[in-house]
Chain A
Amino acid sequence: MRNIIIIGNGISGVTAAREIRKRSDDHITIISDEHPYFFSRTALMYVFMGHMKKEHLKPYADAFWEKNRIALLSDRVNGIDFENKMLRLDKNNPVSYDVLILATGSLPNKFGWPGQDLKSVSGLYHMGDLDRLEKWSGSIRHGVIVGGGLIGIELAEMLLSRGKTVTFLVRESGFWNIVLPPEESSMINRHIREHGIDLRLNTELKEIIDNGRGEASAVTTSKNETIDCQFVGLTAGVHPNVGWLKNTSLDIARGILVDQYLKTNQDQVYAIGDCAQLRTPRPGRRPIEAVWYTGKMMGRTAAQNICGTPIEYDPGIWFNSAKFLDIEYQTYGFIPPSPDDSTHTFYWEHPDGKKSLRINFDKETGEVRGFNLMGIRFRHKVCERWLKEQKPIDYVMHHLEEANFDPEFYARQEKDIRQAYAQQFHTTFA
Chain B
Amino acid sequence: MYTGTALGLFGLLILLLHGAGIRFFSNTIDLILALLSLSFGILIYSYALYRGHPEGIKNNGVWRRALTSRGWLAILSGIVITGFYIVLYFYPQYLGLGADGAKNTGLIALFDPLSQLLKRQPASQWFVYGVLYTLAIVFFGIKFMMKYRHNRYQQFRTLSVMFFQFGFAFLLPEVLMRLNRPYFNFANMWPLNYYFFDQWHIDGLIHAGTLGMFMLIWGLLMVFVISPYLTYRFGKRWYCSWVCGCGGLAETAGDPFRHLSDNSLRAWKIERWLIHSVLVFSIVMTVSVIHSYLGDDSSKYWLTRSLFLGIVSILIAGVAGGLYYFKRYEMAKDARFGMIGAASAILLLLINHFFSGNGNIFFIDAGSLRSWYGFAIGSVFSGVIGVGFYPLLGSRVWCRFGCPMAAILGIQQRFLSKFRITTNGGQCISCGNCSTYCEMGIDVRAYAQRGDDILRASCVGCGVCSAVCPRGVLKLETGEIGVKL
Binding site for B on A (CB under 8 A): 11, 40, 42-43, 46, 49-53, 56-59, 61, 161-162, 191, 194-195, 292-293, 296, 319, 321-323, 325-326, 328, 330, 377, 379-381, 384, 405-411
State the Cβ distance, B306 to closest chain A Cβ, in Å: 48
Contact partners of A59 in chain B: CB under 8 A: 430, 432, 445-446, 449
Q: Interface 1/0s, chain B 38-67, versus A by CB < 8 A? A: 000000000000000011110111111100
Neighbouring A residues of B64 by C-beta, 8 Å: 50
- Tell me, in angstroms, the Cα distance from A56 to B437 when the chains sit together: 10
- Contacting residues, chain A, for B442 (C-beta < 8 A): none
Partner of B471, one of A191, A321, A411: A321
Tell me, in angstroms, the Cα distance from A331 to B471 when the chains sit together: 11
Q: Which residues of A contact B214 (CB under 8 A)?
A: none
- Give the nearest-CB partner of A15 in chain B: B449
Shortest Cβ distance from A51 into B: residue: B59
**For the complex, what is the distance from the CA of A52 to the CA of B426, rounded to whole Å?**
23
User: Given contacts A162-B61, A326-B57, could you give 13 more A-B pairs where the C-beta distance is less than 8 Å?
Assistant: A40-B429, A40-B431, A43-B433, A57-B432, A59-B446, A59-B449, A61-B264, A161-B61, A377-B424, A377-B475, A405-B475, A406-B475, A410-B153
Partner of B426 from A46, A194, A319 at Cβ < 8 Å? A319
Contact between chains at B435 and A56 (CB < 8 Å): yes
Given A50-B60, A51-B60, A321-B472, decide whether A410 and B152 contact each other with a Cβ distance below 8 A: yes
Chain B contacts with A in 391-426, Cβ cutoff 8 A: 424-426
**B151 contacts A by Cβ under 8 Å:** yes
- A144, B377: Cα distance in complex, Å: 56
Could you write out 9 A-B pairs with CB less than 8 Å apart?
A50-B61, A57-B432, A321-B427, A321-B471, A323-B470, A325-B54, A405-B424, A407-B466, A410-B153
Of A51, A61, A325, A380, the contact of B63 (CB 8 Å cutoff): A51
Closest to B152 in A: A409
* Alpha-carbon distance between A159 and B432 when the two chains are bound, in angstroms: 21
Q: A323-B470, A377-B424, A407-B476 are in contact. Are A42 and B54 (CB under 8 A)?
A: no
> Are A56 and B426 within 8 A (Cβ)?
no
- What is the predominant secondary structure among interface residues of chain B facing chain A? loop
Q: A51-B436, A407-B475, A411-B152 are in contact. Are A42 and B59 (CB under 8 A)?
A: no
Bound complex: CA A59 to CA B431 (Å): 8
In the complex the two chains form, what is the Cα distance from A321 to B424 in whole Å? 11
Q: Which residue of the partner chain, among A52, A195, A377, A380, contacts B436 with CB atoms under 8 Å?
A: A52
Q: How far is the CA of A40 from the CA of B469 in the complex (A)?
A: 14
Nearest CB of chain A from residue B264's CB, rounded to whole Å? 7
B470 near A328 with CB under 8 A, answer yes
Measured in the bound complex, the distance between the Cα atoms of B472 and A410 in whole Å is: 13
Task: Tell me if B156 counts as interface (CB < 8 A to partner A).
Answer: yes
Q: Which of B298-331 contact A (CB under 8 A)?
A: none
Q: Count how many chain B residues have C-beta atoms less than 8 Å from C-beta atoms of the other chain.
A: 42
B142 at the A interface (CB under 8 A): no
Complex CA gap A56/B150 in Å reads: 26
Bound form: Cα–Cα A50–B155 in Å: 24
Residues facing A in B461-485 (CB within 8 A) are: 463, 466-468, 470-472, 475-476
Residue contact B153 to A405, C-beta cutoff 8 Å: no
Q: A46–B61 contact, CB under 8 A?
A: no
Chain B contacts with A in 431-452, Cβ cutoff 8 A? 431-433, 435-436, 445-446, 449
Contacts of B155 in A (CB 8 A): 409
- Report chain A residues within 8 Å CB of B466: 407
Do A43 and B432 touch across chains, with their CB atoms under 8 A apart? yes
Interface residue from B435, B467, B471, B476 paired with A323 (Cβ < 8 Å): B471
- Chain A residues whose CB sits within 8 angstroms of the CB of B463 once the complex forms: 407-408
CB pair A52–B56 under 8 Å, yes or no, is no
Using known A-B contacts A50-B60, A52-B63, A326-B56, determine if residue A11 contacts B430 with beta carbons closer than 8 Å.
Answer: yes
* A409/B153 contact (C-beta < 8 A), A56-B435, A321-B472, A328-B470 known: yes
Instruction: Determine the distance from Cα of A410 to Cα of B62 in the docked complex, in whole angstroms.
Output: 26
A40 CB → nearest B CB, Å: 5
In the bound complex, residues from chain A placing their C-beta under 8 Å from that of B1 are none
Given A319-B425, A330-B472, A325 contacting B56 (CB threshold 8 A): yes
Query: In the complex, are the beta carbons of A61 and B472 less than 8 A apart?
Result: no
User: Are A191's CB and B63's CB within 8 A?
Assistant: no
Contact of A408 among B61, B63, B476 (CB under 8 A): B476
B265 at the interface (CB under 8 A from A): yes
Return chain A residues, CB-CB under 8 Å to B59: 49-51
Question: A410 to chain B: which residues have CB within 8 Å?
Answer: 151-153
Instruction: Say yes or no: A296-B63 contact (C-beta < 8 A), given A43-B433, A51-B436.
Output: no
- List, in ascending order, chain A residues with CB within 8 A of B65's CB: 50
Q: How far is the CB of A175 from chain B (nearest CB, A)?
A: 16
Q: Measured between alpha carbons, how far is A1 from B126 in the docked complex, in Å? A: 69
CB contact between A407 and one of B151, B427, B432 (< 8 Å): that residue: B151
Nearest 10 CB-CB pairings of A with B: A380-B425, A326-B56, A43-B431, A377-B472, A50-B61, A409-B152, A50-B64, A323-B470, A161-B60, A51-B59
Which chain A residues border B476 with CB–CB below 8 Å?
A: 407-408
A63 to B132: give the CA distance in the assembly, Å: 44
Question: Chain B: which residue is nearest A49 at the CB level?
Answer: B60
Residues of A within 8 A of B467 (CB): 407
If the complex has contacts A325-B56, A326-B57, are A53 and B472 also in contact, measured as CB distance less than 8 A? no
* Residues A50 and B427 in contact in the complex (CB < 8 Å), given A57-B432, A59-B449: no
Query: Would A326 and B427 be within 8 Å (CB), given that A56-B432, A321-B471 are in contact?
Result: no
Distance in angstroms between the alpha carbons of A406 and B64 in the assembled complex: 31
- Are the CB atoms of A407 and B153 closer together than 8 Å? yes
Q: A405-B475, A410-B152 are in contact. Are A381 and B54 (CB under 8 A)?
A: no
Q: Does A405 lie within 8 Å of B432, measured CB to CB? A: no
What is the distance, in angstroms, from B268's C-beta to the closest C-beta of chain A? 11
Q: Which of B68-101 contact A (CB under 8 A)?
A: none
Find chain B residues with CB under 8 A from A42 CB.
429-431
